[in-house]
Amino acid sequence: MEVLRDNSERAASLLKSLANPDRLLLLCQLVEGERSVTELEALTGIRQPTLSQQLGVLRNEELVATRRDGKWVYYRIASEDALAILGTLHQIYCA
Return the pLDDT at 83.
Answer: 95
Average pLDDT, the chain: 94
Mean pLDDT of 72-91: 94
Contact 14, 81 (CB under 8 A): yes
Q: Which domain holds residue 34?
A: 2-93
**CA–CA distance from 31 to each of 7, 35, 88 (Å)?**
24, 10, 12
Number of domains in the chain: 1
Mean pLDDT of 14-31: 94
**Cα 40 from Cα 49, distance rounded (Å):** 13
Residue-wise pLDDT for 34-61, tens only, equals 999 999 999 999 999 999 999 999 999 9
Return the pLDDT at 43.
Answer: 95
Return the pLDDT at 2.
Answer: 87
CATH number of the domain where residue 40 is located: 1.10.10.10
